[in-house]
Amino acid sequence: MLEEARRLGFLGPGPVAGQLDHAGGFAAVVRELFGAGGPGVAGDLGSGGGVPGLVLAMTFPSCHWILVESMVRRAAFLRSAVAELRLGECVTVVEERAEVVGRSVGYRGRLDLVVARGFGPPAAAAECAAPLLRVGGYAVVSEPPGGDPGRWPAGDLAQLGLVPAPAPAPATSGGGWAYQVLVQESPCPGRFPRRVGVPTKRPLF
């Protein structure tokens, strides 16, 4: 499925093995946070070609995954992949903007975990993840090799109810990817997320 996603242009350049390694790094962090069984309900923002969402759904089959993807062709690919991989009982593809999903009664404040890979700059990822998380839930965001805690200022994250936390070991995959972990310490205020497109156009930090 990932080869097909790359052929369609839904994954970045490079071999599929590297994409799997990146998803494996997410899985390692999730195990450290939740144990071998993983979280109960989790979401992947901007699922695109299925990395890491589809890989994590297969790694943690007892978890229910919400794959959020606003682009029609990519969402259609994800639905096809879910059917082919027989993941229909544990994966829901939501074809909508993350800002809209974050205001949905069915999802707001209900997720144990939100992951994001290439979703957008730190401020946009944080603003779209926080409304979905329950208090005590985690966001895990892919970072450039080496990471940079300065990209996640605690004072600015606090307005979303988020607190930056050190990524649990192993913090990097074999490919050198880093992962920023955020904890939802208090409920995300009702004013977030802002309107569609605003988190990227007018970032909070």
- Convert the pLDDT of each residue in 134-162 to its tens digit: 999 999 999 988 888 899 999 999 999 99
Look up the domain containing 84 and give its range. 2-201
What is the mean pLDDT of the segment spanning 31-60? 97
- Residue 175 is predicted with a pLDDT of 61
pTM reported for the whole predicted model: 0.94
DSSP string, 53-82: HHHHHHHSTTSEEEEE--SHHHHHHHHHHH
Segment among 6-10, 78-82, 200-204 with least mean pLDDT: 6-10
Domain count, the chain: 1
CATH number of residue 46's parent domain: 3.40.50.150
Strand partners, 180: 141
Which 3 state secondary structure label does DSSP give 198? helix
